[in-house]
Amino acid sequence: MQKNLEEFEKRGVKLVAVSVDPPEVNREHTAKQGYTYIFLSDEKAEVIRRYDLLHEKGGPGGDIARPAEFLIDASGTIRWVNLTEDYRVRARPEELLKVIDALKPATP
């Protein structure tokens, strides 16, 4: 996603990642990978549960979030969802950009 960040920003899309990892783990991960978009920590999995994404005992340390991508508009309406059971299977940036373009209202 990082490599395509400029294309997301051109479309008015803000990338946000959410994980059960504590903030210090997210900081280390983003620094190591060079990510500049927002990573949020949901250590109690409150948001993860709200979106029905909890994978109980799915990680070495316990519960983790199922892999998912959401496109949520400014009003908070979920416009598109991609859910998988395998953490290695994610929506590709090119796919997300196509979906975003398809969701944009046509201009007269």
pLDDT means over runs of 10, the chain (108 residues): 94 92 95 95 92 82 84 90 82 93 73
0.95 exceeded by the pTM? no
Establish if 108 belongs to a structural domain.
Answer: no
Q: What is the tally of structural domains in the chain?
A: 1
Establish if 62 belongs to a structural domain.
Answer: yes
Establish if 15 belongs to a structural domain.
Answer: yes
Q: Which domain holds residue 42?
A: 2-103
3-state SS record for the chain: CHHHHHHHHHCCCCCEEEECCCHHHHHHHHHHHCCCCEEEECCCCHHHHHCCCEEEEEECCEEEECCEEEEECCCCCEEEEEECCCCCCCCCHHHHHHHHHHHCCCCC
- Where residue 89 sits, what CATH number does that domain have? 3.40.30.10
Per-residue confidence (pLDDT) for residue 107, from 0 to 100: 54
Establish if 56 belongs to a structural domain.
Answer: yes
